[in-house]
Amino acid sequence: MNLKGKLAQREARIGVIGLGYVGLPLAVEFARAGFDVTGFDVDASKVDEINAGRSYILDVDAEEVAACVKADRLRATTDMSKLAEMDVVDICVPTPLRKTKDPDMSYVVSAAEQIAKYIHPGMLIVLESTTYPGTTAEVLQPMFEARGLKVGEGFYLAFSPERVDPANEKFNTRNTPKVVGGTTPACSEVAAELYAAAVDTVVPVSSTQVAEMVKLLENTFRAVNIGLVNEIALMSHRMNIDVWEVIDAAKTKPFGFMPFYPGPGLGGHCIPIDPFYLSWKAKQSGFECRFIELAGHVNGSMPEYVVERISEALNTRKKAINGAQIHLFGVAYKRDVSDMRESPALDILQLLQRRGAELSYTDPYVPSLKEGSLCLRSIPEDEVAGVDCAVIATDHKTFNYTAFPGRFPIIVDTRNALKGNPARNIFRL
């Protein structure tokens, strides 16, 4: 039976390399759709958790993982030789930036090297990791064709950008439309059939390059608009205008405006990073992305601005940052997640430490953190006392915001979590 037949009959064996925020939800959806799924990861602790039927991702229900494992449709392993048994392999590994702001493709290349060892006729390989346009065709295709198989005939190769939004209560892996672009029309057709079995909507595009560019456009769009509204926030502060009131009024327009909100900086694996992937690739073609890089500069400067607001707030009480007890509420990169990647709270903490502050934090999703010389443990919210300044860096829903103005002498609210509260000890962006 060919691969299309196996997909139609749910007889295809699916492998997912990388069991993080992207890979685990995808593996569970394939298993729920009736496929035999094997997750691959170099982290043995993740493998053990999955095989025990437990979830370590907040957006993935532990009961669903347990049900899939019990039904023998989901398992995990560190043994990459099991790739030889797979009909389909999805690559969901990290694609960070180097310190020089160029793409670090080492995880993708490492995964591809393992697949190349065990590639066989009829295998479908899909890259989901966010990357620059051309990666699938320029990096992966030559590695696989070197094994003697021709793409579109001997094996299938496609790109389908992950669109995971952690803690989104409305959209998940199943109901978020899935963009798919193949190296050849045959590759596109087979990849579309794969995802159609597990997600509600598949959006085919003409090539892997288009699919790769889709993800970068989506996140660059957000990064640029957040950069714009962050600059408006800085401007409004200088003019003594409440930027939050401005945005609330502007979003009443039913067309031509989409609200974005200022904050302490960009965090997460995608939005702070993806624009630099696009900028790096554009430079290879002799094009300079001035607009995108300017937005990156504005967003990157927000932690320093937050520290300046903390300094201004303390000055109203004749205090300096040096020696002040400053407590951060929320250190994850966004509300109701545990992900610390690129979190602006880390930059804020380090900037405050350099200026001599005594630091502590509360985050129900991050029990401890170690970053550089920082080594802190989360303090339960009701035990926080004796601080000179409380900073709302991440607006988790669990915090008792109504009690803040009476508990802390100074509050710097970077997320408008205390919206509408007129207390004089609240300082906003």
- CATH 3.40.50.720 in the chain, residue ranges: 3-205, 207-300, 303-429
Separation CA 344–CA 265 (nearest Å)? 5
Q: What is the mean pLDDT of the chain?
A: 94
Q: Which of 187, 270, 289, 389 is catalytic?
A: 270
- Can you identify the CATH homologous superfamily of domain 303-429? NAD(P)-binding Rossmann-like Domain (3.40.50.720)
- The string of DSSP codes covering 77-140 is ES-GGGGGG-SEEEE-----B-TTSSB--HHHHHHHHHHHHH--TT-EEEE-S---TTHIIIII
Give the per-residue pLDDT at 284: 83
Mean pLDDT calculated for residue range 105-120? 96
Separation CA 56–CA 329 (nearest Å)? 23
Give the per-residue pLDDT at 325: 98
Give the per-residue pLDDT at 422: 92
Question: In sequence order, what are the beta bridge partners of 202?
Answer: 178
Q: CA separation (Å) from 79 to 17, 36, 41, 68, 75?
A: 11, 17, 8, 20, 12
Residue percentage of the chain with pLDDT more than 70: 99
Class of domain 207-300: alpha beta
Residue ranges of alpha helices (H) inside 251-325 are 274-284, 290-300, 302-315
Separation CA 429–CA 413 (nearest Å)? 7
- pLDDT > 80? residue 153: yes
Give the per-residue pLDDT at 277: 80
Separation CA 40–CA 47 (nearest Å)? 8
- pLDDT > 90? residue 279: no
Give the per-residue pLDDT at 281: 83
Separation CA 371–CA 352 (nearest Å)? 13
Residues 79-103 pLDDT 10s: 999 999 999 999 999 988 777 777 8
Comparing 74-78, 182-186, 218-222, the range with the smallest average pLDDT is 218-222
Residues 371-416 pLDDT 10s: 888 999 999 999 999 999 999 999 999 999 999 999 999 999 999 9
Give the per-residue pLDDT at 268: 73
Give the per-residue pLDDT at 316: 96
CA dihedral 403, 409, 414, 417 (to 10 degrees): 10
Separation CA 215–CA 211 (nearest Å)? 7
Residues 244-256 pLDDT 10s: 999 999 999 999 9
Mean pLDDT calculated for residue range 325-347? 94
pTM assigned to the model:
0.90
- For domain 3-205, give the CATH number: 3.40.50.720
Query: What angle is formed at CA 196 by the lines to CA 193 and CA 197, rounded to 5 degrees?
Result: 95
Give the per-residue pLDDT at 97: 77
Mean pLDDT calculated for residue range 254-270? 90
Mean pLDDT calculated for residue range 292-312? 94
Q: How many C-alpha atoms does 415 have within 13 Å on its Cβ side?
A: 21
Residue percentage of the chain with pLDDT more than 90: 84
Rounded to 10°, the helix 302-315/290-300 angle is: 30
Helix (H, G, I), strand (E, B) or coil at 328: strand
- pLDDT > 90? residue 329: yes
Mean pLDDT calculated for residue range 195-202? 96
- pLDDT > 80? residue 175: yes
Is residue 270 flagged as an active site residue?
yes
Q: How confident is the model at residue 355 (pLDDT cuts 50, 70, 90)?
A: very high
Does residue 164 or residue 351 have the better pLDDT? 351
Q: How confident is the model at residue 288 (pLDDT cuts 50, 70, 90)?
A: confident
Give the per-residue pLDDT at 103: 82
